[in-house]
Structure 1
Amino acid sequence: MMIRLHDFELSGSCYKVRLLLNMLSVPYEKVSVDFVNRQHESPAYLELNPFGDLPILEDGSLRLHNAQAILTYVARKYDVFGIWYPSSASGASRIHQWLATASGELANLSRARLAKVFHYPFNLGDLHSSSRPALRVLDAHLQNRKWLELGRPTIADVACFPHVALANEAGISLSDFEYVSEWVERFKTIPGFIAMPGIASGS
């Protein structure tokens, strides 16, 4: 049975799952969800995910929500070479630091985008104030490296990329973050990269 991804085209969290599936050449069925009209909060979808958020991935009898958990599963099951998610304790823990950052500090960029684009009732000023320090940390981390960890693209990069690459839609320019900007463009050169509205293909 083919993987089924419950997806919203404009969601950064859904996009990161599409990215990894495409980079690993994993076939899947995409089920479009009307996020704007809150279809993901309907009774039918709350049966799939009681937290009422996207994405949701189904692979046979397994059902997962939370993009970071889904990335971990897809990489562990479908990356036969263990490139995207290492098996070593030190490598996996370093990756998980960034998965937590993607759903923590960098998630404020996503919330700011929800406020700007989808008019969610968030305090945009507070979200901008908390997002810029996170981008400064990321910029410093990338000053002397091409990828977040292990010297190669991993699911750490995939998890963090959409929030950062969509920062302009959140109302934050990346022009002050030189190394982050270079990393965003470098990410677009990974084989299997796909664009989404708001994130163009690389030059």
Structure 2
Amino acid sequence: MPIRLYSMTYSGHGHRVQLLLSLLGLPYEKIDVDPHGGVLRTPEFLAMNPFGQVPVIVDGDTILHDSNAILVYLAKKYGGPAWLPENPEGSALVQQWFSLAAGPIAFGPCAARRLRVYGEELVPMDHAVAISLKLFPVLEAMLSERMFATGERPSLADVAAYTYIAHAPEGGLSLEAYPAVRAWLGRIEALPGFVAMPKAPGHVVARP
């Protein structure tokens, strides 16, 4: 039976999981959850994730939520050390990017996109912009020295960080000043099995 992925079309957190499933060539069934349909509040869904959020995967008897936790599970079970290094340094480098994904990326470009596209405020827009404009130069410097987030090969670090950086323009944030970041996005998009997240409808034009 294929892995079931409960997600939403425009969820960057859900797309992380879909992207890794596709990069690993794993069969899966994507179940699109209507954020306004009440599914997230049903007892059946809350039994899978008591926080009432996507993504959730069901893999046989295993039910998991939280996108980064799911990435670790999939890499450990199906992907091997190429995606999640077993050596202490490599594992720690991936964890650094998980922290970026849950911190500056979530409260920077992700928050700006959610506010501009959906009117959902994680933090005020000026805070999201300030966080993003502090983050992007750091990523630019890091990615100008390496092919992928942690070195010469893609890892879970790239999967965790990709989506909300790639869709930063939907939050009004331009990537034009960051050629190394844009080149990194292009290398991920060239990987066999890459699957894109659709652009959110009605997204705004990025500020220069």
Q: TM-score, normalised by structure 2?
A: 0.89
Per-residue displacement from partner, 1:3-41 (whole Å, max 9, x unpaired)? Answer: 111011111111111111011110112111012445324
Alignment of 1:84-163 (within 5 A): 84-108=83-107, 109-122=109-122, 123-163=124-164
Deviation at 1:47, TM superposition (A): 2.1
User: 1:174/1:41 Cα in 2 relative to 1: closer, same or farther (>3 Å)?
Assistant: farther
Residue pair 2:4, 2:31 contacting (<8 A) in 1 also: yes
Give structure 1 regions of 4+ aligned residues with deviation exceeding 3 angstroms: 36-39, 41-44
* 1:8 matched residue in structure 2: 8
Equivalent residue of 1:125, what SS? helix
AA partner of residue 128 (structure 1): V
Query: What value does the CA root-mean-square deviation take over the aligned residues?
Result: 1.6
Any unmatched runs of 5+ in structure 1?
none
Identity %: 37
More off after superposition, 158-167 vs 174-183: 174-183
Deviation at 1:79, TM superposition (A): 1.4
AA partner of residue 60 (structure 1): G
* 2:189 matched residue in structure 1: 188
Q: Aligned partners of 1:53 and 1:10: how far apart in 2?
A: 13
Equivalent residue of 2:96, what SS? helix
* 1:63 matched residue in structure 2: 63
User: 1:167/1:49 Cα in 2 relative to 1: closer, same or farther (>3 Å)?
Assistant: same
* 1:35 matched residue in structure 2: 35
Report how many residues are paired: 198
* 2:174 matched residue in structure 1: 173
Alignment of 1:40-59 (within 5 A): 40-59=40-59
AA partner of residue 176 (structure 1): A
AA partner of residue 125 (structure 1): D
Any unmatched runs of 5+ in structure 2?
201-208
Alignment of 1:71-90 (within 5 A): 71-80=71-80, 82-90=81-89
Deviation at 1:59, TM superposition (A): 1.2
